[in-house]
Structure 1
Amino acid sequence: MSETPVSGHGLHERFLRGLALAPSRTAVRVDGESLSYEAAHERALGLAGALLAVGAERPRVVAVLADKSPTAYVGILAALYAGATVVPLNPRFPVERTRRMLTVAGVEAVVADPVGRAALAGTGLALPVLADGGSAAPLDAPLAVLPSDIAYVLFTSGSTGRPKAVPMTHGANHGYFTLLDGRYDFDPEDVFCQNVGLNFDCAMFELFCAWGRGAAVHAVPPAAHRDLPGFLAERRMTVWFSTPSGISFIRRMGGLTPGAMPTLRWSFFAGEALLCADAADWQLAAPRSKVENLYGPTELTITVTGHRWSPETSPALAVNGVVPIGRLHPDHEQVLLDGEKESAFEGELCVTGPQMTPGYLDPADDEGRFLERDGRRWYRTGDRVRRLADGELAYLGRLDAQVQIQGFRVELAEVDHAARRCPGVWNAATVTRPAADGGLELVLYYTGERVPAATLRRALAAELPEAMVPKTYRRVAEFPLNANRKVDRGRLAREAAASSDGRP
C-alpha cells in the first residue's frame, strides 16, 4: 500500500504552527533586520513558487548556499514549502568541497546570497540560482510531504576525508520535535540564539524548536561572544545553544561572572564533551537557566540523549570530569559493544529507533556504520560510553581516541582529565604524533596560565603510568575550532606531527 501525506508530519509545519501562534511576532532577526512570521511565510511561498518554476518538474533537492541572512532562513523554509529536500551549505568552505557536496547531494537548484553565488561560480557547476521569488507565481500553501520523504541532507566529516551525506526524513524529525515539545516549555515570549552554522545539525534544533512555539530566532554574530552578557541582555535572549568549546572563550572575555546572564531560561550544549567545571561556571552565570548536556550524531536526528545538570548530583556521576550524556530518548534501544561482543557496562554505543537515518546517500558509506542484529538495523556511533548505576550514559570518547603507547592502552580523555587538575590549567587536549622509535608519543596542548613543562610532567607522573605521561607540552591561548565550533583535534595532531621532524 502506498504511503500518503500525513498532516503535521512535515518539518515545515513547525513554522506553520508558529505562524498560527504569533503571526506578527519576529520569526528571525539578523543584525538589524527582522522578519515576522507573516513576512517570512510570504517570502517563502514566493521563493517556493520560483523554485517550482525552475524546470518542468519541481526540484527534488535544493541547496541553500548563504551566510546567516534572511535569504538563508527563508531559503530553508522555501525549499521545504516546495516539497524539496534542503541542503544547507557553508558558502565559505573550500570550493572543491562545496562542488563535491552539491554533486553528491544531487542538487538541482540553489538559493544563494552574493557570497554563495561567488562560491557556486567557483565550482563550475551550472545550476539555477535564486535569491527571491522574482516574477514567478507564489504558492498558495506549502506542498504536502510523506513522513518517509527526506527533509534535509547534512554532511559529516568522513574517515576517508570525503564528507558523508546524511539524509534525514520528515518522520524522524516529527518524532524528535514532538518529544522536545513535551520536554521543554518554550513559548512565543522566548528568544532563541541561532549560534551554530546552518550546515550543522544543531541549527535545526535552534530553528524548529523556536518556530514550533512561535518564538523568535536571533542570529548571533561572532563579535557578540566578546561581550555575551551584554548581547543577551540587549536581545532579552532566553534560550542558548552552543558547543562546549565556546565556554572557555566567554570565560576569558569575562562573561562567566556570577549572575552575568540572568535572562536565560534554557542553556543547551552539544557536539563534544561538556566539562563539569564549565557547566558549573555557566550555571552560576545563568542562575535562572536549566542547563542540559545533549548528545547525538547527525545520523540520529540531532540529539538522542540528554542530561540536566545538577550541581548537587551531576559531578558525582561524571567520568573524567565530563558531564553524563543521559538516557536515550523513548522508543530507542541501545547495545554496548566491546569489540564485537555485547557488554553490560562499557563499549561502543549502538542505537536503533525512529530517529535513525535510512542510510547515507552513498551506500558505500554504510559499510561499518550499521549493524544488523535481532532482525533490526542499528547505527554504530563510534563513541565509547559507560552505563552508570542509575542507567544514564557517561561519554568516554571516540573509539579512535584510545591509542597504544609502548603496548599500553591509553585513553586520551583520561590524560586530559588529569591535566585539567593541574594548577593553572583550564582545559587540555592530548593528541599523538609519530615517535622516533616508530611508535606513538603523546603531546599535550593546554589553555590557561603558562606552566613549566617540568611542573606538568611531575604532576602527571604522580598520577598516571609512565606511558600515559605526555612527552611534550604546549600552551595555546585558545584551541583551534573547526567549522562546527568543536575543538579541532585533527589540526592539533597535524601541528604536533609537523614539529616532530623539526618543521615549525
Structure 2
Amino acid sequence: MTETSAPGHGLHERFLRGLARSPGQTAIRVGSESLTYEELHERALQRAGELTAQAPRGPHAVAVLADKGLTAYVGILAALYAGAAVVPLNPRFPAERTRRMLTTAGVGTVVADPVGRAALAETELDLPVLGESASASAAALDAPAAVGPSDIAYILFTSGSTGRPKGVPLTHGGNRHYFDLLDRRYDFGPGDVFSQNVGINFDCAMFELFCAWGAGAAVDVLPAAAHRELAAFIAERRMTVWFSVPSHISFIRGIGGLRPGTMPTLRWSFFAGEALLCDDVADWQAAAPKSRIENLYGPTELTVTITGHRWSPEASRSRAVNGVVPIGPVHPGHDHLLIDGEGESAVEGELCVTGPQMTAGYLVPEDNEGRFLERHGRRWYRTGDRVRRLDDGELLYLGRLDAQVQIQGHRVELAEIDHAVRQCAGVHNAVTVTRQVAGGGLELVVYYTGDRVPPVTLRRELSAHLPEGMMPKAFRHVTEFPLNANRKVDRQRLAREAAGTPEGPP
C-alpha cells in the first residue's frame, strides 16, 4: 500500500509527495515530450509566480484552456501551487459555451496553448493569457501557497437543463478525503504507468493525474491514434493502470483489439461514467488477465466517484441487474438515503448522498433547485439515479430517474439538447430521446416540429452551441408530438420508435 498523505489539505500536496518519492522519474509524458517530477515542479513554480503576479490581491480562478499537452498539465499544477481554483476547459467547445463557463467561474487568468488562444479570441472576452513560454518578469514561487480544506481546488462544468452549463466547485478538503480513501484501497507505486485518457475537463482526469502523482508514478497521455493500436501502445509504454468510459471497451473490441492476453502489463483497470456491462468486462479481463477491474460510480458533485465495485466473474454476474455490473457501496465517511416518491426506502429508490465529498452547491445558486434535499437536519445531493441496495450495502444501478443521461462518459441533460435544437431556424419545438447502440452505450435522437430542415443544416447550427459528444446522431421531423393519457408528450413512445427506426440519410 502507498504511504499516508502528507500533512495539509491541498490537492497539490499529492504531487509534492510524488516529487519526494520519484524526483528524477517521469511525471508526465505526451508523445515524445516528457517532464520529470523535478522538471514539472520547477515549471509549475515559475508559472505559479506569473499567476500570482497577475492576481496580487489573492487567489482567483485560473482557466486551463488547452489540448492535452504539457501546457495543460503544467497549468493545472501551477494554478494549484498559486492557491487558485483550476477551471479546466476544452478549447474545442463552441465559443459561446466557453464564454459562459469563463464568466460563470469568474476566471481572472487563462493558461492557453495556441488552440486555446484561438478559442479564447472567439469568445471576445478580454482576459490575460499565459502561453507556453515562461515570463522573465515574474519570479518563481519558493513554495506552493497554503490552502485550507474549504478552499476551492477546481471547478468543473456539467450539462444544465436551463441551456447553460452548471459550475461545480470542489474543495481541497473533499479531494483530500477522496484520495486518502483511494490510497488505502489501491497499491499504486512509483513503478506504475497510468493512462491519461479522458479530457482534462472531465472529473475522472483528476483520478488519473493525482492517483499517479500521489504515488510517484508516471502519467502517459494517450494520443488519438493509440486507441486503434491500444495493445501495442500499452505494451510499448509498459502501462499498468487504465481508466476509460465503458463504451471504450466496445470500440476496442469492434476493431479487433481485445484478443485474449494482449494487455498483460495492466494491473488495474477502472471504468466510470456510464453503465458497465458484465459481458464487456469479461472481454476486457480476457485481454488483460492480470488486471483487477473496478466499476466506479459518482456524479461530479460528489468529487469524481463515490462508490466502487471490484469485478468478480461469478459474484458480480450473480448480482447484476440487466447485465450491468454493480456499482458498490458508498464511500466510508458518507451517508446515503434511497428516496422513493416522497418517502424513504430501505431497498430501492433515488440515491441521495451526503458527506465530505459533496459540493456545497453550484456557482449559480438557482441551479441548486431540485438537486439538493434537506432531511434529518442535513443536506443531501440527489443523484437522479435509481439504485437497489443489498443487505451488505452493495448498490445496484437501475437507471436514470430523470432526463439526465450519460453519453460517452459525459453527463447530458436532454432538456439542454431540446433547448439548443429549438434555437435552430425553422424549428418550433424539440424532444430528445436516447437509443442504445452496440456495446451498451447511448446516442441521442431528436424529434422536432416546424419546418423540415436538412440534418446537415441542423448539425451545422448546433455545432455553435453543443460539443461533439452532445451532438444528436439522428433528427426526425414530425408534424406533431404523440401525447400520452395525461396529455403530455409521450417520450417513451418516441424512444421506442427511435430504437426501431434506422438512421436516415444526412
Question: How would you bin the TM-score normalised by the shorter chain?
Answer: 0.7 to 0.9
1:131-170 counterparts in 2 under 5 A?
131=131, 132-135=133-136, 136-170=138-172
- The amino acid that maps onto 2:20 is A
Distance 1:211 1:34 in 2: 14
- The amino acid that maps onto 1:134 is S
- The amino acid that maps onto 2:31 is D
| Local SS of the residue matching 1:327 | coil
Distance 1:441 1:144 in 2: 46
Residue 199 of structure 1, CA deviation: 0.2
Residue 57 of structure 1, CA deviation: 2.0
1:102-181 counterparts in 2 under 5 A?
102-131=102-131, 132-135=133-136, 136-181=138-183
Distance 1:312 1:340 in 2: 36
- The amino acid that maps onto 1:117 is R
When residues 55 and 325 of structure 1 are mapped into structure 2, their CA distance, relative to the original with a 3 A threshold, is: closer
Unaligned runs of 5+ in 2: 1-5, 407-417, 419-428, 440-462, 481-503
When residues 376 and 32 of structure 1 are mapped into structure 2, their CA distance, relative to the original with a 3 A threshold, is: same
Q: 1:190 aligns with which of 189, 192, 199?
A: 192
Contact 1:51 1:58 (C-alpha < 8 Å) held by counterparts = no
**Cα RMSD for the two superposed structures:** 2.6
When residues 369 and 85 of structure 1 are mapped into structure 2, their CA distance, relative to the original with a 3 A threshold, is: same
Distance 1:101 1:441 in 2: 24
Distance 1:375 1:367 in 2: 18
Residues 155-190 of structure 1, C-alpha deviation per residue, up to 9 Å, x if partnerless? 001122210000000000001000000000000000
Residues 300-324 of structure 1, C-alpha deviation per residue, up to 9 Å, x if partnerless? 0000000000112110100011000
Kindly, what percent of the aligned residue pairs are identical?
Answer: 71
Instruction: Using CA pairs under 8 Å that are at least 6 residues apart, name the structure with larger relative contact order, 1 or 2.
Output: 2
Residues 57-97 of structure 1, C-alpha deviation per residue, up to 9 Å, x if partnerless? 24411000000011100000000000100000000000000
Contact 1:108 1:127 (C-alpha < 8 Å) held by counterparts = yes
Residues 84-115 of structure 1, C-alpha deviation per residue, up to 9 Å, x if partnerless? 00000000000000000000000000100000
1:157-306 counterparts in 2 under 5 A?
157-306=159-308
1:376-391 counterparts in 2 under 5 A?
376-391=378-393
- The amino acid that maps onto 2:372 is F
- The amino acid that maps onto 1:324 is P
| Local SS of the residue matching 1:312 | helix
Partner of 1:82: 82
- The amino acid that maps onto 1:306 is G
Structure 1 length-normalised TM: 0.81
| Local SS of the residue matching 1:127 | coil
- The amino acid that maps onto 1:123 is T
1:345-356 counterparts in 2 under 5 A?
345-356=347-358
Residue 54 of structure 1, CA deviation: 1.4
Distance 2:29 2:395 in 1: 37
Distance 2:469 2:100 in 1: 22
Q: Which is further off, 334-343 or 300-309? A: 334-343
Distance 1:265 1:61 in 2: 36
- The amino acid that maps onto 1:491 is P
Residues 287-306 of structure 1, C-alpha deviation per residue, up to 9 Å, x if partnerless? 00000000000000000000
1:293-442 counterparts in 2 under 5 A?
293-400=295-402
Contact 1:232 1:261 (C-alpha < 8 Å) held by counterparts = yes
Partner of 2:472: 491
Contact 1:59 1:108 (C-alpha < 8 Å) held by counterparts = no
Residue 368 of structure 1, CA deviation: 0.5
Partner of 2:62: 62
1:452-491 counterparts in 2 under 5 A?
491=472
- The amino acid that maps onto 1:188 is P
Partner of 2:43: 43
Distance 1:73 1:324 in 2: 33
| Local SS of the residue matching 2:54 | coil
Residue 8 of structure 1, CA deviation: 2.5
1:11-22 counterparts in 2 under 5 A?
11-22=11-22
Distance 2:351 2:188 in 1: 30
Residue 390 of structure 1, CA deviation: 3.5
Contact 1:59 1:109 (C-alpha < 8 Å) held by counterparts = no
Distance 1:441 1:54 in 2: 44
Distance 1:46 1:269 in 2: 35
When residues 445 and 356 of structure 1 are mapped into structure 2, their CA distance, relative to the original with a 3 A threshold, is: closer
Structure 2 length-normalised TM: 0.81
Distance 2:469 2:401 in 1: 17
Residue 389 of structure 1, CA deviation: 4.0
Distance 1:80 1:489 in 2: 30
Residue 401 of structure 1, CA deviation: 5.9
Distance 2:505 2:169 in 1: 41
- The amino acid that maps onto 2:134 is G
- The amino acid that maps onto 1:365 is D
When residues 106 and 189 of structure 1 are mapped into structure 2, their CA distance, relative to the original with a 3 A threshold, is: same
When residues 500 and 199 of structure 1 are mapped into structure 2, their CA distance, relative to the original with a 3 A threshold, is: farther
- The amino acid that maps onto 1:33 is E
When residues 63 and 441 of structure 1 are mapped into structure 2, their CA distance, relative to the original with a 3 A threshold, is: closer
Distance 1:443 1:335 in 2: 28
Distance 1:20 1:43 in 2: 16
Residues 378-422 of structure 1, C-alpha deviation per residue, up to 9 Å, x if partnerless? 0000111111243211111111369xxxxxxxxx99xxxxxxxxx
- The amino acid that maps onto 1:256 is L
Partner of 2:438: 447
When residues 146 and 441 of structure 1 are mapped into structure 2, their CA distance, relative to the original with a 3 A threshold, is: closer
Unaligned runs of 5+ in 1: 1-5, 403-411, 414-432, 449-481
- The amino acid that maps onto 1:35 is L
Contact 1:49 1:133 (C-alpha < 8 Å) held by counterparts = no
Contact 1:227 1:253 (C-alpha < 8 Å) held by counterparts = no
Distance 1:329 1:349 in 2: 13
When residues 314 and 157 of structure 1 are mapped into structure 2, their CA distance, relative to the original with a 3 A threshold, is: same
Residue 18 of structure 1, CA deviation: 0.3
| Local SS of the residue matching 2:402 | helix
- The amino acid that maps onto 1:30 is V
Distance 1:76 1:83 in 2: 11
Contact 1:194 1:217 (C-alpha < 8 Å) held by counterparts = yes
Distance 1:59 1:73 in 2: 19
